[in-house]
Structure 1
């Protein structure tokens, strides 16, 4: 069965073969999957040593839960026929991926492959939120949150921006009625996760000692390795969103590379001017900020535009991460400063830097006027408000019913040992991880 959204993009590159497109999307999906363990390593290095395993478990737990929920109902909500004015897809249309199991000889890309490619976007989005509430979260409640948030927040926003109208199919309001551009997830992934992280951090409250005790990354080597894996996986995230082995995929690939580079350099420049030195942590964060910002725009700007977006994101995000100390919210791993702010930068700058040499429209700086900029502002604002409001409600309900935050004594002792009975570094034999023995020595 050819899904309507695949039919809508079937004309991207008529010369490409179905086998080539399928092979590229298979590889891209695997690259996006790699981003999950990459994020676990990246986040794991950023927390204190007493929380590193819990942080990694939160990311891998999100991978497991979100994938199952996506197969059962998430994909159908995101890409099923619209049932509510462009806000929500039919949850029964592709329930359990029905209708996608049998091969369609006319499809350039198997519908079931597209479904799981999109599902891995959902995984990363949910996993990103974990960074905002690190060091203080109950693992079981987090898994419940992953399932609920996927259904009530991620899937609807994905429907808004990724589900295009096709013959006999009505998609989401942002993509079709508003006409906002988002190539690979500035709204659904970056702004969505950043706004959710802010809401969750505010509802759960600050970590013990926030603003007083040192809470530096415990292992910058892990941070650098994780950033490298994320960057590698991001090529599948962005170039894979072309849904084919095409010129558009190549453009997205190049733009992703150069924006990551300029984001890294801009962040280091801010550090050098502000603090007197450039750091490895800043390099990793700057590269990620550039990658975040280019995500919505990699398929609609030129390489020069991509470099400008990377510079803007690197510099602005380097300044934005300090807002949590000035405004008093405890975003543990700077999800707000990097993903919310970077997502806003990349989404809005489409309205300035989009080029008809690459996309269907010109931005303001290319003679296109203010129209596209207005559309991008509406899309960014609507995503931010919806995600923040819904997430705050979900976290509040879970905190009141199940308990979302760990007890103060447990937080002080470290969530690794309390929640998982393990420590990342076996400095004392009695506290390391172990498996039960069943007979023998």
Structure 2
């Protein structure tokens, strides 16, 4: 280790500062995701979502420190998975760089990548929300991380076969994160089945707290700049172009969703929130490889693709993906990953390649991207099916208590909102109803009498005041009757 006043010559302090900030921004996506999902789902399942996401973040972060980093970025075993050379993150220096992070400390790179590993399976909570029991949830995210995220991340971002043999491009996780989680979300929706009243609401359940969802969506939007631009691992021109590309795709996709919702019925807050998230997710893989001008074009495509896919999955196939993760993240992740094959420009990233529209107009990159999407999507689907079947046989998948109680009470014994207590109290008696009415009437009479006492005595020339006094007298008789 170097002394406290020394740094390795490879470390750039500006780049290090930017990646530190980006890491913290990505960490804030965890509570943002909890707020976003809780606001769009039933209030009686709020605690469940918070516990799943915050508890899941903690578990997945511990896993990353124990074995995750080394399985993803360790030296490869036949291009399939990393070695155990950095188990417990041993020999990962804080004062020197690595082959994966040439300008920042290797430990910071590991910390930044931990955030991606933590949030990836948590995106699927929006698909199986309000149905999966907590034991099954814990087993699922652990299995998903071990058998889907770690291998796929190694294949594309580590020394794996898709990277070394084909140079598959995924700047910030369109394939590694959004394609895999989106495919898994669709499988979860199929296997877990529909929630109660799915047909009543045609799959579009009313949100319980739109301001909370908007707060979560705004935090996700802000954090996404660290998610995408932080993946540049530097604070220069590449980070700037990535930020601009990300914003253009997000807002154009949001406008598409807003217009469609307005044409169908009325301009919807839920729609524009989902539209922005769809644009953010979809531009993730391409954000560091394309001209920002094309970010807007891709954003329009992402908006239409994600919105229309909901009609296919939810309204035609009747799959209950609660918050449309398969469309907002999965379809957009696939579209954005393929978009690199068309719009990629080596001039914006020396590690990239020219797509079909640039350079020699070669279709090679498009073919490679399509192959990677098919391989990783298929792998994610197969492993998800196996995981759900095994968990169902061991601890069961779905909750078994009354839907009206909710996961908060049934699974965690806690409530998000105190007013829920009034719902589970015994039915109010007739005597209590009369008592409440008498109290309200008495309070009204007392207020009127105090008000009238401040006004001059009634006269024949003040009929309005006389009428008010008569009303008070009549109300007093009503109180005596009660």
Partner Cα separation in structure 2 for residue 105 and residue 60 of structure 1: 31
* CA deviation after TM superposition for structure 1 residue 53, in Å: 1.6
Q: Flag structure 2 segments of 5+ consecutive residues without an equivalent.
A: 2-8, 425-482
- The corresponding residue for 2:217 is 227
- The corresponding residue for 1:406 is 399
What is the aligned counterpart of 2:250 among 244, 260, 267? Answer: 260
What is the aligned counterpart of 1:291 among 266, 269, 280? Answer: 280
Q: Is 1:396 matched with 2:384?
A: no
Q: Alpha-carbon deviations, 1:147-166, whole Å to 9, x = none? A: 22111110111101111xxx
SS where residue 199 of structure 2 aligns?
Answer: coil
Q: Is 1:422 matched with 2:410?
A: no
Partner Cα separation in structure 1 for residue 175 and residue 135 of structure 2: 28
* CA deviation after TM superposition for structure 1 residue 29, in Å: 0.3
Q: Flag structure 1 segments of 5+ consecutive residues without an equivalent.
A: 2-13, 164-170, 433-441
- The corresponding residue for 2:292 is 303
SS where residue 38 of structure 2 aligns?
Answer: helix
What is the aligned counterpart of 1:151 among 146, 170, 187? Answer: 146
Cα distance 1:431–1:81, how it changes in 2: closer, same or farther (>3 A)?
Answer: farther
Cα distance 1:363–1:356, how it changes in 2: closer, same or farther (>3 A)?
Answer: same
Contact 1:136 1:411 in 2 (8 A): no
Spell out the pairing of 1:184-195 with structure 2 (5 A cutoff). 184-195=172-183
- The corresponding residue for 1:66 is 60
Q: Alpha-carbon deviations, 1:50-86, whole Å to 9, x = none? A: 11221122111210111011111111111111103x2
Contact 1:149 1:391 in 2 (8 A): yes
- The corresponding residue for 2:337 is 347
What is the aligned counterpart of 2:379 among 370, 376, 386? Answer: 386
Spell out the pairing of 1:4-403 with structure 2 (5 A cutoff). 18-84=12-78, 86-90=79-83, 92-101=84-93, 103-104=95-96, 108-163=103-158, 171-213=159-201, 215-273=205-263, 275-323=264-312, 324-359=314-349, 360-367=352-359, 368-403=361-396
Partner Cα separation in structure 2 for residue 238 and residue 76 of structure 1: 23
Between 199-208 and 43-52, the greater mean CA deviation after superposition: 199-208
Partner Cα separation in structure 2 for residue 152 and residue 276 of structure 1: 43
Partner Cα separation in structure 2 for residue 206 and residue 64 of structure 1: 29
- The corresponding residue for 1:438 is none
Partner Cα separation in structure 2 for residue 411 and residue 392 of structure 1: 25
Q: Alpha-carbon deviations, 1:232-253, whole Å to 9, x = none? A: 1101110000111121111111
Cα distance 1:102–1:183, how it changes in 2: closer, same or farther (>3 A)?
Answer: closer
Q: Alpha-carbon deviations, 1:341-380, whole Å to 9, x = none? A: 1101100111111123313322112252211111110111
Between 365-374 and 246-255, the greater mean CA deviation after superposition: 365-374
Say what the alpha-carbon RMSD is for the aligned residues. Answer: 2.1
Cα distance 1:143–1:101, how it changes in 2: closer, same or farther (>3 A)?
Answer: farther
* CA deviation after TM superposition for structure 1 residue 320, in Å: 1.3
Partner Cα separation in structure 2 for residue 239 and residue 119 of structure 1: 16
Cα distance 1:381–1:220, how it changes in 2: closer, same or farther (>3 A)?
Answer: same
* CA deviation after TM superposition for structure 1 residue 216, in Å: 1.6
Q: Alpha-carbon deviations, 1:203-255, whole Å to 9, x = none? A: 22222232235622111111111111001110111000011112111111111
TM-score normalised over the length of structure 1: 0.88
SS where residue 104 of structure 2 aligns?
Answer: coil
Partner Cα separation in structure 2 for residue 310 and residue 428 of structure 1: 41
Contact 2:97 2:106 in 1 (8 A): no
Contact 2:242 2:292 in 1 (8 A): no
Partner Cα separation in structure 1 for residue 75 and residue 397 of structure 2: 35
Structure number with greater Rg is: 2
Partner Cα separation in structure 1 for residue 142 and residue 346 of structure 2: 39
Partner Cα separation in structure 1 for residue 249 and residue 333 of structure 2: 13
Between 298-307 and 138-147, the greater mean CA deviation after superposition: 138-147
* CA deviation after TM superposition for structure 1 residue 105, in Å: 7.6
Contact 1:78 1:155 in 2 (8 A): yes
SS where residue 14 of structure 2 aligns?
Answer: helix
Q: Alpha-carbon deviations, 1:288-330, whole Å to 9, x = none? A: 0110111000001111111111111111111112222211221
Partner Cα separation in structure 2 for residue 136 and residue 26 of structure 1: 37
Cα distance 1:354–1:105, how it changes in 2: closer, same or farther (>3 A)?
Answer: closer
Stretches of 4+ moved more than 6 A in 1? Answer: none
